A = this chain, B = another copy of it.
Amino acid sequence: MSLPHAILTALLEKPSSGLELTRRFDRSIGYFWSATHQQIYRELGRLEEAGHIRALPSPVPARGQRKEYEVLPAGRESLREWVGAAEDPKPLRSALLLRMRAAAVVGTAGLRAELERHLALHRAQFEEYAAIEERDFPAGRRTAEPDRLRHLVLRGGIELERFWLEWLGAALEELGPGE
Contacts and interface: CB of A to CB of B under 8 A. Distances in A.
A66 B126 CA distance: 48
A100 B167 contact: no
A23 interface: no
A93 B3 CA distance: 10
Interface in A133-179: 145-150, 152-153, 155-157, 159-160, 163-164, 166-167, 170-171, 174
A76 B84 CA distance: 46
A110 B85 contact: yes
A152 to B, nearest CB: 6
Interface in A91-124: 91-111, 113-114, 117-118, 121-122
Interface in A55-92: 76, 79-80, 82-92
A64 to B, nearest CB: 29
Given A102-B83, A109-B80, A166-B159, A93 B149 contact: no
Interface string A1-45: 010011011001100000000000000011111100000000000
A122 to B, nearest CB: 7
Interface hub of A80, A118, A122 (most chain B Cβ within 10 A): A80
Copies of this protein in the assembly total: 2
B105 A12 contact: yes
A83 B109 contact: yes
A100 B85 CA distance: 12
A136 to B, nearest CB: 13
B146 A100 contact: no
Given A29-B98, A32-B92, A84-B110, 9 more contacts: A2-B98, A33-B94, A34-B91, A84-B113, A87-B114, A89-B118, A94-B156, A100-B152, A160-B163
